[in-house]
Amino acid sequence: MEPISDLIRRLAERHGRERSSLLPILQGVVEQEKYLSEYSMTQIARELDLPAAEVYGTATFYSFLEYKKMGKYIIRLCKTITCSMKGENQILLAIQEMLKIKVGETTPDGNFSLLQTNCLGFCHKAPAMLINNEVYTELTPEKVRDILTSYINSNGGGTKNVNVSST
Amino acid sequence: MGEGQKMSTSHLLKRADFIFKSDNDWEDVLKKNLNRTANELINELISSELKGRGGAGFPTGLKWKISSEIKADEKFVICNADEGEPGTFKDREILSRVPFKVLTAIAVCAYVIGAKKGFIYLRGEYFFLKDNLQSAIDEFERYCRKIGFDFSISIFMGSGAYICGEETALFESMEGKRGEPRNKPPFPSSSGYMNKPTVINNVETLAHTYTIFKYGSKRFYDLGVQFSRGTKLFSVSGDTPKPGIYELELGMSLVDFVEEFGDDDTKAVQVGGASGFLVPRKRFPETTIGFQGRLVGISLPTGGSMMLFNSSRSMYNVLDNYLNFFAEESCGQCTPCRVGCQQLLKGIKAVKRGEKNAAYLDKLLKLAETMTYTAKCGLGQSVANSFSSIVENFREEMIY
């Protein structure tokens, strides 16, 4: 993995050092690091010549820009109305039981973080969740256990498999 | 019920198939329309009576016209793909199935107003669409260069903030700031992204302009009903045997809608997502789906979200879920919304637990109404829509 300061410089060169490049740069760091450390944010501030408070204030506004250390795979389970009606709670229990973590926590091996999120736009295929950028829909407790198992087994590079449905 | 039906001037459910018809003729549609004058194109849109499909319903032709008449060194066209309203999932489908319609429409708009740069603001949740959309843009830009049309489109990714679907919050976000809505006026048409004249349209609105530019405005105008012309994509979810995306003519009665999509036990329909209205069964006959302006009955606009609830659902749980959503997604900038959402949520919980008596609900209704008048943007202003329609129609469920 690229050192953070190099990554930030490269992102700034690619997107430009304008204020309007802030979000793409923050997103680029999160893509690699999964979260924004204080160090990342001050580095970005220096790179763009912005007050660190401005960077922090902007970054913490957005729910997909985490500022706490996250696992390699971030699970975001939708909790908005239709998913909630269609058994989101059962899915949540299944995940919690399998990974032995609660919402907001990360597994000790640093592989999974569990979060809840608002409407993912898959209400017709509820319940739905994201694992990093992959969408999983029409979840059942069995299905979610299979999905997590496949991530655990692959445990190496980025998994891109099982039941990815886009529509 | 009989009276309601008499009052209703809606039509039966009419399916249509324009939006998802293949986009493989986009080169012809683009070339043909870039050869027309800006005025011709604006008039075509105005006579179609197309209104914005994101929910607010502003006349699209007028929006383009205003921006076209303003002189500026730089202008922008932005496609709003920050589809975040609970129960809405149509824009993703448009962008994945017929992206060239949207790109063509963005380009035609740019030609009309004199912009050289377009953006698609794509919500972070739809990151998985990005690569395919970017390939479509690459192909599109190659063609623009080939025909000598100087125009480029970039994707700007959101990062999980419902409020950024509000157009001025979206501009702030693109400018690298917190997604906090601006005061209006000025409106985007004169001062939008980077304070330059900006046309910002919903994905579906742009896809409809493709239909209009391809077939002419009459074909579109002849669909739907007065004040609500054309078709609309509906995202149907909840207690329905056939959840999914359906293109229907505007102006249908909710009775017919429920007949088609209900599970024979429909207790209420949420029209327009969490920021829309909950319609209880007894009001189905007098309710039509379209924009305001009808002479009789209630007409409800919608960004396309239609969520059905059957008798097994507790309306208290539904409202609790919505209020949690709003409390989390409020940007926190203005007090009525930031504090109001939290107090409404605390309030209904207190009533449910018996810590407050039933009359407290009336205080909460007043608070919601106050938010409508005092909140800075559409988020805070529309919390009362679902709050009041649920509390007033299902008061007993809030208490017991």
Q: Which residues of B touch A26 (CB under 8 A)?
A: 159
- Confidence band (pLDDT; 50, 70, 90) for A160? very low
Domain that holds residue A138: 73-154
> Is A14 in the same domain as A80?
no
Task: Kindly state the percentage of chain B with pLDDT values over 90.
Answer: 91
B228 Cα to chain A: minimum distance (Å): 25
Please give the pLDDT value at position A4.
96
Under a CB-based contact definition with an 8 Å cutoff, are residues A128 and A137 in contact?
A: yes
Query: What pLDDT shows up at residue B4?
Result: 38
pLDDT tens-digit series, residues A117-155 = 999 999 999 999 999 999 999 999 999 999 999 999 987
H/E segment holding residue B273:
none
Q: Are B211 and B218 in contact (CB under 8 A)?
A: no
**Does B81 touch chain A if contact means CB atoms closer than 8 Å?**
no
One domain for residues A47 and A94: no
Interface touch A81/B321, C-beta < 8 Å: yes
Return the CATH number of B2-11+223-310, one of 3.40.50.300, 3.10.20.600, 3.20.20.150, 3.30.70.100.
Answer: 3.10.20.600
Determine, for residues A135 and B128 on separate chains, whether the beta-carbon distance falls below 8 Å: yes
Residue B28: in which H helix or E strand, if any? helix B26-34
> For residue A68, is it within any domain?
no
By CB neighbour count within 10 A (0-12 exposed, 13-18 middle, 19+ buried), where does B386 fall?
A: buried
Chain B residue numbers with beta carbons less than 8 Å from the beta carbon of A118 are 84, 86, 162, 325, 328-329
Backbone phi, psi, residue A135, to 5°: -100, 140
**Contacts of B322 by beta carbon, 8 Å cutoff, 6+ apart:** A81, B86, B274, B386, B387
| B345-349: Cβ within 8 A, 24+ apart | B345/B320, B348/B316, B348/B319, B348/B320, B348/B323, B348/B391, B348/B398, B349/B320
> Are A135 and A166 spatial neighbours (Cβ–Cβ below 8 Å)?
yes
pLDDT confidence band for A159 (50 / 70 / 90): very low
* Chain centroid offset of residue A167 CA: 21
**CATH number of the domain within which A113 lies:** 3.40.30.10
The minimal CB distance from A80 to the residues B92, B96, B325 is found for B325
Low-confidence residues of chain B, pLDDT below 50? 1-8, 295
Closest CA to B176 of A72, A62, A114: A62
What gap in Å lies between CA B117 and CA B36, rounded to an integer?
20
- Scanning the structure block, which residue is given the tokens 């007409």? B299
pLDDT tens readout for residues A64-111: 999 999 999 999 999 999 999 999 999 999 999 999 999 999 999 999
Nearest in space to A128 (alpha carbons), one of B270, B262, B243: B243
Q: Are both A78 and A55 inside the same structural domain?
A: no
Integer angstrom CA distances of residue B1 from A137, B247, B298, B327? 39, 27, 14, 37
- pLDDT value of position B9: 54
A163 domain residue, yes or no: no
Question: How big is the CA angle at B151 (ends B145 and B155), to the nearest 5 degrees?
Answer: 115
Instruction: Compute CA A122 distance to the chain's CA centroid, rounded to the nearest angstrom.
Output: 17
The whole-angstrom distance between A84's CA and the closest CA on chain B is: 8
Sign, CA dihedral A85-A86-A88-A90, equals positive
B159 contact A CB<8A? yes
**Residues of chain A contacting B194 with CB distance shorter than 8 Å:** 20
* A41, A113: one domain: no
Choose one of A12, A29, A59: the last residue of a domain: A59
Domain with CATH 3.10.20.600 in chain B: 2-11+223-310
Nearest CA-CA distance, residue B281 and chain A, Å: 19
Count interface pairs A-B at CB distance under 8 A. 130
**Do residues A47 and A90 share a domain?**
no
CATH architecture of B26-221: 3-Layer(aba) Sandwich (3.40)
Subunit contact A23:B173, Cβ cutoff 8 A: yes
Residues 269-288 in B contacting A (C-alpha not used; CB under 8 Å):
270, 274
Return all residues near B398 (Cβ < 8 A) that are at least 6 apart. B315, B316, B319, B348, B351, B352, B361, B390, B391
CATH topology of domain B315-394: de novo design (two linked rop proteins) (1.20.1440)
Same domain, A104 and A46: no
User: Which pLDDT tens digit goes with each residue over B258-304?
Assistant: 999 999 999 999 999 999 999 999 999 999 998 876 545 677 877 89
Query: Using a CB-CB distance cutoff of 8 angstroms, which residues of chain B are in contact with residue A119?
Result: 84-88, 162, 325
Nearest-CB residue to B325 (from A85, A118, A123): A118
Closest by Cα among B241, B165, B217 to B42: B217
Number of domains in chain A: 2
Do A45 and A108 reside in the same domain of the chain?
no
Chain A residues with CB-CB distance to B under 8 A?
Answer: 18-24, 26-27, 57-58, 61-65, 79-82, 84-85, 117-126, 130, 133-135, 164, 166-167
Probe site for chain A from B166, B237, B242 (most A CB atoms < 10 A): B237
Query: Based on the domain organization, do A82 and A52 belong to the same domain?
Result: no
A10 shares its domain with A55: yes
Which residue is closest to B174 within chain A, CA to CA? A20
What does the pLDDT read at residue A158? Answer: 46
Identify whether residues A50 and A20 lie together within a single domain: yes
Amino acid at B103: L
Q: Please, where in chain B does CATH 3.40.50.11540 lie?
A: 26-221
Using the beta-carbon criterion (under 8 Å), do B178 and A63 form an inter-chain contact?
no
Among all residues of chain A, which has the CA nearest to that of B129?
A166
Burial class, B350, CB count within 10 angstroms (exposed 0-12 / middle 13-18 / buried 19+): middle
Q: Are B136 and B185 in contact (CB under 8 A)?
A: no
Residue B369: in which H helix or E strand, if any?
Answer: helix B360-374
Reduced to 3 states (helix: H, G, I; strand: E, B; else coil), residue B304 is coil
Question: What pLDDT does residue B5 have?
Answer: 39
B173 at interface of A, judged by CB pairs closer than 8 A: yes
Cα distance from A42 to chain B (closest Cα, Å)? Answer: 16
pTM (global) more than 0.80: yes
> Measuring CA to CA, which residue among A4, B397, B182 is closest to residue A26?
A4
Question: Looking at the domain assignment, is residue A39 inside a domain?
Answer: yes
A50 plus A93 within the same structural domain: no
Is A92 a member of any domain?
yes
CB-CB under 8 Å, A64 with B160: yes
Same domain, A145 and A106: yes
Q: For residue A165, is pLDDT > 60? A: no
CB contact under 8 A, B86 and A118: yes
In angstroms, rounded to a whole number, what is the distance separating the alpha carbons of residues B291 and B227? 6
